[in-house]
Structure 1
């Protein structure tokens, strides 16, 4: 007899515990479904508005083709507008009734909520969808070119030994842009890697030579058709980019576009010198064209770092960069490279 009583008590308690847990789960599910139903009211309005636009567009196309008169077009537009307004009113009333039943009873009434399967699909999709901030990063191909020269203490660009128009730079690289805030795109971090090619074209038949630890200019023993130094660097730029953006939604994907927007980028770069080439071109005693090319040996700095910035619209902008490191290591007067040109960020 005691065994029977114990069995009944255990069974009853187990049933009671399962029932309490089921009610708890049902209550949590009901609260979640209420939240989804409220969100669906906005979705209903948006869907009906989009449908109305499509119908009005179709009516206007018929009018443009001469299939109907202007009076008929106005009549049809009025009809579809009234239909869509009633659709919104009726569908929202159904949702309001479902919400009221859930709030009052705490359970899902399947025979009244005829689209409960749809709601459950929405719940599952929202649980599994990527959060909006997941797609915070995009990538661009970076290309820049323009004029190049150096700045030195006590010397202006007018006194520079390098040709203003003949000294040029180019930059090729890849950059990633990540917005700082989840739901706003006005501040971004742009980072990546670039190959910089800084050229210095010498005037007055001069070229660079190594004099002990220093690199100095020396006059060539004949007229030079060309005298140019090119310094190649691999750098890793980082910029803070400011500017407006436009929110774009496509399905479950949310992004912030800067197309047709102004932007400002401020930052810098650091990296390594990966090559130095000096090119000379002249006529020898026989009148033949001679080209000389020498690599390295001019005591250029191996470590490269500097400041850079750009002001642009859409994918094109004005670009400036300035090396904080001297071009040559142990010269009496430090020269620092400066560049000005155009920058393209092509996604």
Structure 2
């Protein structure tokens, strides 16, 4: 499990690094293109203001011809219109010049957004502003400085999901206290990717969260016992003939969770876009998952007849190929309490069913 987890984390970091390198390679080209666009905008501004002045003068002349104003009044109005348009040109060109200066100095327009989407890793940044926030952590897709126009409404976002905690099995007719698996030594890890879509057009009260995850469920067996498959294909716990130091059973699943998420949000409205933010907000979700078991393995560490340490691995137990269950989470911001329960038994054709159950912390890095 540790090797697989490290490989997946390394893969995520490689994706982040390669994306950042690609962004750096095109940054200069994008900057030059943006500067060219801004210079063309300066020409357009002058033409727009001159055209507006021409229309205002024509309107003043029309009033003069109709006798609505005197020639002296018309001259004053023309001077005021010319002065207003000249100031408009001066101020609007100054804004463009400042944007060009920002681009030349920083490579982007700091404090403004011209977005697109990219995969990034950020620590300590609010998802809705450029202000540093010590309490946040983000991995995912984020609107960034780009040449593409900002999408007015983003109803779907995506993020990394990571969960870790305690694991055990619910056995028919037994309580957790009587479980043959250690409460402290048994654990689970989940790592996946999720998309979140706002359900209603004008409200963010309910969101649909869906994606895929890898789940590793580990059971630490009590006593001097191991799991063994008998002649009927049933997996049972039996005494090991030698002195067991540690006996652990692990399943690896790939599942596709779907949750309905609820909770308050903050609406951010700007001239060219609006967003709903759940940053630092309470949220809870419930739903389920279905998927496939891709591996089952038991590791047994023991002492042989000569009191030497030995280790054996046993694979391909009679586990259910298809797994499904219920799950729920509740939290604040990016961290919450997470619980999941497999409705499908761990093993096929068992006299007594065993269903995996997990409780821990969930990090939705959105």
TM range (shorter): 0.5 to 0.7
Alignment of 1:121-270 (within 5 A): 132-133=152-153, 135-211=154-230, 212-249=232-269, 252-270=272-290
Partner secondary structure for residue 223 of structure 2: coil
Partner secondary structure for residue 287 of structure 1: coil
CA distance in 1, matches of 2:270, 2:288: 34
Is the CA contact 1:306–1:325 (under 8 Å) kept in the aligned structure 2?
A: yes
Alignment of 1:305-320 (within 5 A): 305-320=324-339
Gaps in structure 1 of 5+ consecutive residues: 1-97, 102-110, 119-127
In the alignment, does 2:322 pair up with 1:303?
yes
> 1:344, CA displacement in angstroms?
0.2
CA offset digits 1:104-144 (Å, max 9, x no partner): xxxxxxx98x88x99xxxxxxxxx977744x1111111010
CA distance in 2, matches of 1:252, 1:195: 39
TM-score norm. by structure 2 comes to 0.58
CA radius of gyration, larger in: 1
Is the CA contact 1:307–1:324 (under 8 Å) kept in the aligned structure 2?
A: yes
2:23 is matched with: none
CA distance in 2, matches of 1:288, 1:152: 34
TM-score norm. by structure 1 comes to 0.62
1:288 is matched with: 308
2:365 is matched with: 346
Cα separation, partners in 2 of 1:215 and 1:276, compared to 1, 3 Å: same
Is the CA contact 2:346–2:354 (under 8 Å) kept in the aligned structure 1?
A: yes
How many pairs are equivalent? 227
Partner secondary structure for residue 158 of structure 1: helix
Is the CA contact 2:243–2:304 (under 8 Å) kept in the aligned structure 1?
A: no
Partner secondary structure for residue 322 of structure 1: strand
Is the CA contact 2:170–2:356 (under 8 Å) kept in the aligned structure 1?
A: yes
> 1:245, CA displacement in angstroms?
0.6
> 1:213, CA displacement in angstroms?
2.1
Is the CA contact 2:252–2:295 (under 8 Å) kept in the aligned structure 1?
A: yes
Gaps in structure 2 of 5+ consecutive residues: 1-55, 60-77, 90-147
CA offset digits 1:308-334 (Å, max 9, x no partner): 000010000000000000111101111
CA distance in 1, matches of 2:242, 2:269: 66
Cα separation, partners in 2 of 1:166 and 1:239, compared to 1, 3 Å: same
> 1:288, CA displacement in angstroms?
2.2
CA distance in 1, matches of 2:213, 2:338: 14
State which drifts further: 274-283 or 247-256: 247-256
Is the CA contact 1:235–1:269 (under 8 Å) kept in the aligned structure 2?
A: yes
Is the CA contact 1:224–1:280 (under 8 Å) kept in the aligned structure 2?
A: yes
> 1:256, CA displacement in angstroms?
1.0
Task: Report the RMSD for the aligned CA atoms in angstroms.
Answer: 2.4
State which drifts further: 286-295 or 183-192: 286-295
CA distance in 2, matches of 1:254, 1:321: 35
In the alignment, does 2:295 pair up with 1:275?
yes
CA distance in 2, matches of 1:251, 1:224: 68
Partner secondary structure for residue 177 of structure 2: helix
1:47 is matched with: none
CA distance in 2, matches of 1:132, 1:180: 17
